[in-house]
Amino acid sequence: MDKLIRDGKKEARRASKRERRGQQENPISPERSAKKVKLTKLTAISGVKPGTDVSNVQCFRCAKKGHRAKDCPNGGPKGRSS
């Protein structure tokens, strides 16, 4: 019984907050919220998938091929040098 009362109060607070913010109860349609999205084809910003062959990739830090700047064996400071 107490749980039912607490749940009712929580829902009333949520409704009050939504009303103050001017939001709808469910801004996304049920069809869209039920839609399943496959995330298997996501890539990094560079467009290179993790685990791919990097033999032709040029490092932006030392300009040598075969690794990325984040894996550069020369290390050095990150970012631009002035």
Kindly report, residue by residue over 16-39, the tens digit of the pLDDT.
Answer: 887 777 655 556 777 777 777 777
Answer whether 0.75 is exceeded by the pTM.
no
Where residue 78 falls among pLDDT bands split at 50, 70, 90? low
Where residue 79 falls among pLDDT bands split at 50, 70, 90? low
Distance CA(65)–CA(63), nearest Å, equals 7
Contact 38, 25 (CB under 8 A): no
Where residue 77 falls among pLDDT bands split at 50, 70, 90? low
Q: Given this model, what pLDDT does residue 82 score?
A: 46
Amino acid at the residue 53: D
